[in-house]
């Protein structure tokens, strides 16, 4: 190469260089397929679902989708159990896929929880016996045709033709796979990408209710706009953290925060000023708090939970909370433990406001779905108390609480789908009066769920609350625990008010009827009851499991 | 040795630097014409020149990958989208006397403030730092590709799944299979 050629930018000389010296081949990335298999299986099932949607005849799609979803999720759970049995939850936990995801105890535990939630949610998605038979076709909770104008002629035609939106199954699986990566993400880019992978299908699913379609579409637009804002804030925070640390990997940022990273001149420049770290960290945490519906960022929750199809609401309420709390735990415990004196006071405030506001506003609700939405906000506050205890018992208590909460929530929303009148689900609380006389079994089941939400002993809710409050108290957050207990008491008021309403009031003459579900929804509700009682009566095995899974890899 | 690598000075520009400034001036002019012309289609076409000029600037800074992305996304799809929008809304082809908004002075103030902030930030961040572009090219397609497909392969693949999910969602929300259409 002549000197003149080298003087020009390398851009113009790349070709010449390539001719003189053979360009070195890019080494292939090292991907641990076996350890990523749970996620890959779910992705594969989702793609298979898309293919079914494209090629299978309309009549065969429902059965095919259901089979693919159930088999895929079951296989993913089996793969997770195999990984955990191989010791990846403890001794062999490490960071896989070129530093993109962590394979460790919390990741496997949360992924297992999400897969089981999705399995139960698939059952409620597939339920086709609740709505009356329309023109000889059994229908599910989803719109016959998403594009048809609500109430229009085209919609009637679509219903008459027996169209169904079976695309919800692949969309569910896409969301599940995103949620599985989310709590395991070990760098901020993977975190953001997986956030989008699970959010986008949820926005879509929210818009597809069969009844009250305008409300459903409004919910979807609200969720989408606010979700887009929160994603943008998260992304901005990621950019600032990258500006601070010069890396997006969790371990790398943690090293810079701790001061153990090798100090380069560029790094010395940025680390002298904590503003980037503080603002960036706050923005990333804000994005996650939006997803868990903690209080300053909770505005979307009641509207979206009310408008979305109830099976989707149940899935969203349970699984998004699990995934987002997993990501929040990893972020705070792996990336920012060195900053805990900065973030703990803030999280104290968020937790207190979340518990109190969630519980107090829930008292004034008159709609079952909105009531459960505010209850889920309050539960986010209880979970945050466990997060604030920066200790292994904090992690394991949150993991346990998430399992307890999610199955109760799934069961609760499944019960809501059964109480119906001519307009679909009868979600107004006044219609639930006297339900205990009409359908004692259903009312009793719902009462069990409500008692568990309230945290009455011998239910899963009590064990979970006890675990997080114990961890918080041991972490020195006794005032927080006091606030938590008080707001639990406030919350118990409205749960018990619903129970009183169901059992001790006279049923209205034109009250709702209770639909007889197929074995699908029955299974979902029965699983909810079983988990509630087992975790309430004999929680020790699961507490131990969560305790063993409580160590993050870095 | 050449001047660019050895001499971190600004007063003896190389050919590349002269070209950079000239293209920059052309880009600025095209951008001004975009917002001042009263013909909508002309505005879209001046936008092509401005965005294309930016792509040339990237190219001169050896960021070839970003340059082609700029061409593909901005010159390619954004402008085409804009022109389609003009066509579909039956926008007037000739001069539109009502193309001026009453907010033009506010818009000008915002634009000047934004441009001032950006220029100040860039000048303040780099000052007289001399970055030798003759070294290993950071923005080249080869480097970008190697990093993307080695270190970021999992997020990259997840993004492709996101696109697939978005595609399925778009079909779900817009598909019409009725006979009437």
pLDDT value of position B137: 59
User: Which range is least confidently modeled, A108-112, A169-173, A530-534, B137-141?
Assistant: B137-141
| Burial class of residue B86 (count of CB atoms within 10 Å of its CB; 0-12, 13-18, 19+) | middle
Ordered DSSP codes for A6-46: HHS-HHHHHHHHHHHSPPPPPPPP---HHHHHHHHHHHHHH
A98 pLDDT more than 90: no
Is the four-CA dihedral A97, A99, A100, A105 of positive or negative sign?
A: positive
The distance of B43 to chain A (nearest Cα, Å) reads: 30
User: Which range is least confidently modeled, A12-26, A167-181, A253-267?
Assistant: A12-26
- The mean per-residue pLDDT over the stretch A71-82 comes to 96
CB A554 within 8 Å of CB A251: yes
- The mean per-residue pLDDT over the stretch A122-143 comes to 86
CA distances, A521 to each of A53, B84, B173 (Å): 24, 48, 26
pLDDT above 70 coverage of chain B, percent: 85
User: Which range is least confidently modeled, A18-27, A29-38, A470-479, A495-504?
Assistant: A18-27
B140 pLDDT more than 80: no
CA-nearest residue to A53 within chain B is B168
Distance CA A323, CA A313 (A): 15
User: Does residue A251 sit at the B interface (CB-CB below 8 Å)?
Assistant: no
CA distances, B120 to each of A88, A255, B11, B18, B54 (Å): 51, 32, 21, 22, 19
A1 pLDDT more than 70: no
For A405-436, give one letter per residue: b (16+ CB within 10 A) or e.
bbbbbbbbbbbbbbbbeeebbbbebebbbbbb
Read off the pLDDT band of A516 (50, 70, 90).
Answer: confident
- The mean per-residue pLDDT over the stretch A366-380 comes to 94
- The mean per-residue pLDDT over the stretch A156-178 comes to 90
CB A436 within 8 Å of CB A444: yes
Read off the pLDDT band of B126 (50, 70, 90).
Answer: confident
pLDDT value of position A160: 84
Read off the pLDDT band of B4 (50, 70, 90).
Answer: very low
* Tens digits of residue pLDDT in A22-33: 566 778 888 889
Query: Do A145 and B168 count as a contact with CB atoms less than 8 A apart?
Result: no
Beta pairing, strands A419-421 & A94-96: unpaired
Mutate: best of A3, A8, A273, partner B, most B CBs <10 A: A8
Whether this model's ipTM surpasses 0.95 comes out as no
Which residues are CB-neighbours of A420 under 8 A, at least 6 positions away? A130, A131, A426, A512, A513, A514, A515
A2 pLDDT more than 60: no
Give the DSSP H/E element, type plus range, for residue A514.
strand A513-514
A13 pLDDT more than 50: no
- The mean per-residue pLDDT over the stretch A255-275 comes to 82
Query: Do B149 and A99 count as a contact with CB atoms less than 8 A apart?
Result: no
CB A492 within 8 Å of CB A446: no
A243 pLDDT more than 80: yes
Query: Do A200 and B162 count as a contact with CB atoms less than 8 A apart?
Result: yes
Return mean pLDDT, chain A. Answer: 89
Distance CA A95, CA A187 (A): 10
pLDDT value of position A184: 94
Q: Which residues of B touch A29 (CB under 8 A)?
A: 149-151, 153
Query: Do A147 and B169 count as a contact with CB atoms less than 8 A apart?
Result: no
B11 pLDDT more than 80: no
Read off the pLDDT band of B90 (50, 70, 90).
Answer: confident
Read off the pLDDT band of A508 (50, 70, 90).
Answer: confident
CB A454 within 8 Å of CB A461: yes
Distance CA A435, CA A443 (A): 6
User: Which range is least confidently modeled, A173-177, A317-321, B77-81?
Assistant: B77-81
B36 pLDDT more than 70: yes
The distance of A193 to chain B (nearest Cα, Å) reads: 6
Query: Do A154 and B176 count as a contact with CB atoms less than 8 A apart?
Result: yes
Read off the pLDDT band of A507 (50, 70, 90).
Answer: confident
CA-nearest residue to A163 within chain B is B177
User: Does residue A158 sit at the B interface (CB-CB below 8 Å)?
Assistant: yes
What pTM was computed for the model?
Answer: 0.89
CB-nearest to B150 from A14, A26, A148 is: A26
Domains for chain B: give ranges and CATH numbers.
3-137 (1.20.120.1200)
Query: Do B151 and A145 count as a contact with CB atoms less than 8 A apart?
Result: no
Distance CA A501, CA A430 (A): 8
Read off the pLDDT band of A196 (50, 70, 90).
Answer: very high
pLDDT above 70 coverage of chain A, percent: 96
The distance of B170 to chain A (nearest Cα, Å) reads: 9
For A507-541, give one letter per residue: b (16+ CB within 10 A) or e.
beeebbebbebeebbebbbebbbebbebbbeebee
Other Cβ atoms within 10 Å of A10 Cβ, number: 17
Query: Do A181 and B171 count as a contact with CB atoms less than 8 A apart?
Result: no
Query: Do B178 and A158 count as a contact with CB atoms less than 8 A apart?
Result: yes
* Tens digits of residue pLDDT in A284-324: 999 999 999 998 899 999 999 999 999 999 999 999 999 99
B91 pLDDT more than 90: no
Q: Which residues of B touch A150 (CB under 8 A)?
A: none
User: Does residue A207 sit at the B interface (CB-CB below 8 Å)?
Assistant: yes
The distance of B165 to chain A (nearest Cα, Å) reads: 7
Other Cβ atoms within 10 Å of A340 Cβ, number: 14
B60 pLDDT more than 70: yes
- The mean per-residue pLDDT over the stretch A348-369 comes to 93
């Amino acid at each position: 190469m002549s000197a003149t050629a080298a003087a020009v930018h390398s851009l113009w000389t790349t070709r010449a260089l390539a001719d003189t010296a053979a360009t070195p081949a890019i080494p292939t990335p090292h991907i641990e397929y076996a350890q990523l298999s749970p996620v890959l299986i779910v992705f594969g099932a989702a793609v298979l679902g898309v293919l079914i949607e494209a090629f299978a005849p309309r009549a065969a799609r429902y059965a095919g989708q259901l089979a693919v979803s159930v088999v895929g999720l079951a296989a993913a759970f089996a793969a997770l159990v195999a990984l955990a049995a191989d010791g990846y939850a403890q001794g062999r936990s490490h960071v896989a896929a070129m530093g993109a995801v962590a394979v460790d105890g919390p990741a496997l535990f949360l992924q297992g929880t999400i897969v089981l939630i999705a399995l139960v949610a698939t059952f409620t998605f597939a339920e086709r016996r609740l709505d009356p038979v329309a023109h000889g076709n059994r229908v599910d909770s989803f719109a016959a045709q998403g594009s048809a104008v609500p109430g229009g002629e085209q919609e009637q035609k679509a219903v008459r033709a027996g169209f169904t939106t079976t695309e919800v199954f692949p969309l569910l699986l896409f969301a599940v796979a995103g949620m599985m990566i989310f709590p395991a993400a070990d760098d901020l880019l993977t975190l953001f990408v997986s956030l989008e992978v699970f959010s986008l299908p949820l926005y879509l699913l929210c818009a597809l209710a069969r009844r009250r379609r305008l409300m459903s579409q409004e919910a979807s637009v609200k969720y989408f706009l606010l979700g887009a804002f929160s994603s943008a804030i998260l992304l901005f925070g990621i950019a600032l953290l990258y500006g601070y640390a010069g890396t997006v990997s969790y371990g790398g940022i943690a090293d810079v925060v701790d001061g153990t990273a090798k100090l380069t001149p560029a790094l010395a420049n940025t680390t002298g000023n904590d503003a980037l770290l503080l603002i960036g960290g706050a923005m990333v945490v804000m994005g996650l708090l939006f997803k868990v519906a903690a209080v300053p960022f909770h505005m979307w929750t009641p509207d979206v939970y009310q408008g979305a199809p109830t099976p989707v609401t149940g899935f969203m309420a349970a699984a998004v909370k699990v995934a987002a709390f997993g990501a929040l735990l990893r972020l705070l415990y792996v990336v920012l433990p060195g900053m805990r004196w900065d973030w703990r006071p803030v999280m104290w405030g968020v937790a207190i406001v979340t518990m109190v506001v969630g519980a107090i506003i829930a008292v004034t609700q008159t709609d079952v779905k909105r009531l459960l939405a505010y209850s889920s906000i309050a539960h986010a506050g209880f979970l945050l108390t466990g997060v604030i205890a920066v200790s292994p018992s904090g992690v394991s208590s949150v993991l346990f609480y998430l399992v307890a909460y999610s199955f109760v929530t799934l069961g609760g929303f499944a019960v809501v789908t059964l109480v119906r009148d001519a307009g679909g689900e009868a979600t107004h609380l006044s219609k639930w009066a006297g339900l205990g006389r009409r359908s004692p079994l259903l009312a009793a089941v719902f009462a069990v769920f409500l008692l568990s939400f309230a945290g009455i002993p011998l239910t899963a809710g009590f064990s979970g609350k006890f675990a997080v409050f114990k961890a918080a108290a041991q972490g020195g957050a006794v005032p927080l625990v006091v606030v938590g207990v008080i707001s639990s008491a406030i919350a118990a008021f409205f749960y018990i008010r619903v129970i009183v309403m169901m059992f001790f009031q006279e049923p209205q003459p034109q009250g709702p009827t209770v639909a007889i579900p197929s074995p699908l929804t029955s299974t979902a509700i029965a699983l909810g009851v079983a988990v509630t009682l087992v975790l309430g009566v004999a929680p020790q095995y699961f507490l131990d499991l969560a305790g063993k899974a409580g160590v993050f890899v870095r | 040795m050449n001047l660019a690598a050895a001499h971190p000075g600004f007063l003896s520009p190389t050919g590349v630097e002269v070209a950079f400034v000239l293209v920059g001036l052309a880009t600025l002019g095209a951008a001004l014409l975009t917002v001042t012309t009263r013909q909508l289609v002309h505005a879209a076409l001046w936008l092509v020149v401005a965005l294309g000029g930016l792509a040339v600037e990237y190219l001169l800074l050896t960021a070839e990958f970003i340059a082609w992305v700029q061409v593909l996304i901005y010159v390619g799809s954004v402008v085409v989208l804009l022109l389609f929008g003009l066509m579909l809304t039956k926008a007037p082809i000739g001069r539109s006397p009502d193309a001026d908004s009453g907010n033009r002075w506010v818009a000008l103030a915002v634009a000047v403030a934004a441009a001032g902030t950006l220029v100040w930030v860039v000048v303040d961040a780099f000052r007289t730092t001399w970055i030798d572009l003759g070294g290993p090219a950071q923005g080249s397609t080869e480097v970008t590709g190697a990093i993307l497909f080695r270190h970021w392969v999992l997020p990259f693949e997840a993004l492709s799944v996101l696109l697939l999910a978005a595609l399925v969602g778009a079909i779900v929300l817009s598909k019409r299979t009725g006979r009437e259409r």
